[in-house]
């Protein structure tokens, strides 16, 4: 955020329902609807509403925010949110970066190092309800993605395995969408925080250069 702000971007950081740092009910708000103890609204619901509410408030409150040149970046669950917003609200953005993201919850439960926790979050496994998992997977709505996307992922990410990025990238390529994919060898889910200095610098430069291009005053919307 400091890097983007120093480059002249207005940076908004949200903590939607489902995030940490607030009361227990806030964090549990997006538990699955079929959770036996703490049923919530599920992923891709009130969390999305909160992110868009932050954006709408900023655009209304601050004249220096340009609603025609908005980008989004998210990692891990934030990457899930970024991809979900790309497929459901892509017209609001000029470019979206999704990194170390969960995109297909069915295939992610096959191989993630926290796969056994999925039932505790969603109230079921994909074996018990494949359709429910697909309904909350951003990759299921890839045909609706028209906003330019930047995908970043580490090859040794066991939390959100790199197949999550590969599936989304291949799908968007087959759909002939505007998508760029960078993969980082030897890095894991913590690339942005504790990755090698060279890769952290490369990541930062890639993000800054990409958004500088996509959010430039003369950049096209990419929607169409």
Distance of CA 184 to the CA centre of its chain: 18
CA distance 169 to 117: 26
C-alpha dihedral (183, 50, 134, 185), degrees to nearest 10: 10
Half-sphere exposure of 198 (CA within 13 A, CB side): 4
User: 72, 130 in Cβ contact below 8 A?
Assistant: no
CA distance 180 to 176: 12
- Length of the chain equals 224
Distance of CA 117 to the CA centre of its chain: 20
The alpha-helical segments, DSSP class H, found in the chain are 2-6, 24-27, 46-61, 77-88, 105-111, 118-122, 130-135, 163-174, 191-194, 197-214
Verify whether residue 76 is a known catalytic residue.
Answer: yes
From 76, 137, 139, 192, the catalytic residue: 76
Tell me 41's DSSP state.
Answer: -
Verify whether residue 189 is a known catalytic residue.
Answer: yes
From 35, 122, 153, 189, the catalytic residue: 189
Catalytic residues: 76, 189
């Amino acid at each position: 955020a400091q890097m983007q702000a120093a480059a002249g971007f207005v940076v908004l950081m949200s903590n939607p329902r489902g995030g940490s740092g607030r009361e227990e009910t806030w964090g549990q708000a997006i538990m699955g609807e079929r959770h036996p103890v703490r049923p919530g609204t599920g992923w891709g619901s009130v969390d999305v509403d909160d992110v868009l509410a932050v954006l709408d408030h900023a655009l209304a409150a601050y004249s220096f925010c340009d609603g025609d040149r908005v980008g989004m970046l998210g990692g891990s669950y934030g990457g899930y949110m970024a991809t979900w917003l790309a497929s459901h609200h892509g017209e609001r953005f000029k470019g979206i970066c999704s990194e170390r993201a969960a995109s297909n919850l069915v295939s992610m439960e096959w191989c993630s190092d926290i796969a056994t926790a999925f039932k505790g979050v969603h109230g079921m496994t994909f074996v018990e309800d494949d359709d429910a998992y697909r309904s909350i997977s951003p990759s299921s709505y890839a045909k609706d993605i028209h906003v330019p996307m930047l995908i970043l992922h580490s090859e040794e990410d066991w939390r959100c395995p790199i197949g999550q990025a590969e599936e989304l990238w291949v799908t968007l390529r087959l759909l002939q969408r505007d998508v760029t994919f960078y993969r980082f060898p030897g890095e894991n889910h913590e690339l942005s925080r504790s990755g090698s200095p060279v890769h952290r610098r490369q990541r930062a430069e890639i993000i800054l250069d990409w958004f500088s291009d996509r959010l430039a005053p003369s950049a096209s919307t990419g929607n169409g």
